[in-house]
Structure 1
Amino acid sequence: MSMSIVGSSYGQQGYNSINVNSKQYKAAANEYLDAVIAEEAMMTPEQKMMYELMGGREAHMKNVMSNFNSDGDFIGPGGVVVPGMYHGKDGTEDRSTWQQIISVSDEARQKMFDNVKREFIQENGISNGDTTKRSKIFKEYQLSVKKEDRAKGTWTLQQYEGKYRSAMYAAVKAANPDWEPGQPFDSSILDSVTRESVENNLVQSGNQFVRKSIDYSV
């Protein structure tokens, strides 16, 4: 749905309060202007009249522009999306540019490890979307690094998160082969599972981490 607006006349059609040369407008137009025009084309004469009375395309585009900041980053309604974390409407735009392993601080990794362990014990090994605090950790991390690294760093931190949880699962299963997620277990089993022990057993394979070996004997 994207289109180039360079040299177009769209910005000359009655816009009085929009800077069509701004990054904010160009980003909004690039992603949404085709849809706005298509929507206008389907309006009945009565709908078109009401549309114009309410400000027409200028008002519509100003509303769309509110989802972008002055740098042209999509931030969503009320700025809910951290700049640099938007990957297109279907979430797949240029995956190779952000699904990359990069260096993530010890502090962020430790916060994620501690959260995984807390939730693993609290929920008896089940990932519970109702109680997790992971989103807060991701957002804090994103805001702590430069915009260009946010998506890649978040992808990397997600890889660590999954390996932390897998290591805890393996440790409990090693101690009690009959254990299944959701069943209580002795949390002291996880004393031997540290962030360092998990990370020391990881190697990078493409844009993911894989384990070098599996040995969680206790």
Structure 2
Amino acid sequence: MSRITDYAFLFQKSFGTSGVNAIGSFQLSQLNSSSVQSQLKAAGINTNSKQYKAAVKKMMSAGNGAMYGNIQGIKNLMSHYDKDGDYINPVNGLAGLLVTDDNENSRRRIISIPDSSKEEMYELTKKEFLRENGVHNGDTTKRTDVYNNLYRKMSKKDRLAAGYTLEKYERIYRQAFYDAAKKADPNWEIGKPIKAGALDDVTRETAETGKSPAQATLS
């Protein structure tokens, strides 16, 4: 006989409810039963919605039909998805940013993004390049803020591609600053002080001139 484990407390703990085995819990294998479906509908849950189906898929992937769940746990998990069943990023509250096997290739495309976002990335990259002497410091960078600002300007379907595109422009700007620092001082190396005024002639426009985002790399 197979051992049945009650995981209801895990859903309760993860999704903000208390107690160990709340009244009304049920095995996930019973989700499609008439009694459980009636409970779900009575709680205002649309079992035909993509939001509900995404939540159930997530619950099932975390275990098997022998696991237990409850109405509140399902509601809380549903709040992690939008009406289209797309995962909502908990950091910025936006959907369309989850990389999956299905969208891995389609996200790697260059699309048109707002000049304001490119300008914001240019200014930040220059500031951090000078402050860190060319070092890419993941502990102090504010790059995430620039990307989140961009995502808010884009439609959900284009957010991943927009981030990919902005990353390419970021590389173009860093390369332009690197080249300018080396031109001002051929002996300069990343991590060493940059000669004063070395980046003064580098504008966003000059950095982008003749550069293809699709081909952007770093030295």
Which TM-score band applies after superposition, normalised by the shorter structure? 0.7 to 0.9
Matched, 1:20 2:33: no
Indicate the SS of the match to 1:167: helix
- Counterpart code for 2:178: Y
2:23 maps to: none
Rounded to whole Å, the distance in 2 between the matches of 1:76 and 1:97 is 19
Aligned with residue 142 of structure 1, among 135, 142, 151: 151
* Residue 75 of structure 2 corresponds to residue 75 of structure 1: no
Hey, what does 1:118 align to over in structure 2?
A: 127
Work out the CA distance in 1 between the residues paired with 2:132 and 2:216: 25
Q: Which runs of 5+ in 1 are unaligned?
A: 1-7, 44-50
Task: Identify the residue that residue 85 of structure 1 maps to in structure 2.
Answer: 97
2:181 pairs with 1:181: no
- Kindly indicate whether the alpha-carbon contact (under 8 Å) linking 1:85 and 1:151 is maintained by their aligned counterparts in 2: yes
Task: Output the amino acid matched with 1:138.
Answer: Y
Aligned to 2:60: 34
Correspondent of 2:176 among 167, 180, 205: 167
Counterpart position of 2:209 = 200
Task: Give the partner amino acid of 1:158.
Answer: E
User: How many aligned positions are there?
Assistant: 184
Structure 2 gap ranges (5+): 1-28
Q: Residue 83 of structure 2 aligns to which amino acid in structure 1? A: S
The CA RMSD measured in Å over matched residues stands at 2.6
Q: Distance in 2 between matches of 1:178 and 1:10?
A: 68
Measured in 1, the distance between the counterparts of 2:192 and 2:211 equals 28
Amino acid at match of 1:86: L
In structure 2, C-alpha distance between the alignment counterparts of 1:107 and 1:199, rounded to whole Å: 14
Normalising by structure 2, what TM-score?
A: 0.73
> What amino acid does structure 2 have at the position aligned with 1:87?
V
Residue 115 of structure 1 and its aligned partner are, at CA, apart by 0.5
How far residue 22 of structure 1 moved from its aligned partner, in angstroms, is 1.2
Q: What is the CA distance between 1:201 and its match in structure 2?
A: 2.2
CA shift in 2, pair 1:110/1:80, >3 Å: closer
The answer as to whether partners of 2:89 and 2:97 remain within 8 angstroms in 1 is no
Q: Distance in 2 between matches of 1:154 and 1:182?
A: 27
- Is the 8 Å Cα contact of residues 19 and 25 (structure 1) preserved in structure 2? yes
1:63 matched to 2:96? The reply is: no
Quick one: distance in 2 between partners of 1:94 and 1:37? 25
Could you tell me how far 1:64 is from its partner in structure 2?
Answer: 2.4
* Contact kept in structure 2, 1:121 and 1:187, CA below 8 Å: no
Equivalent pair of 2:133/2:193 in contact (CA under 8 Å): yes
Distance 1:133 1:210 in 2: 21
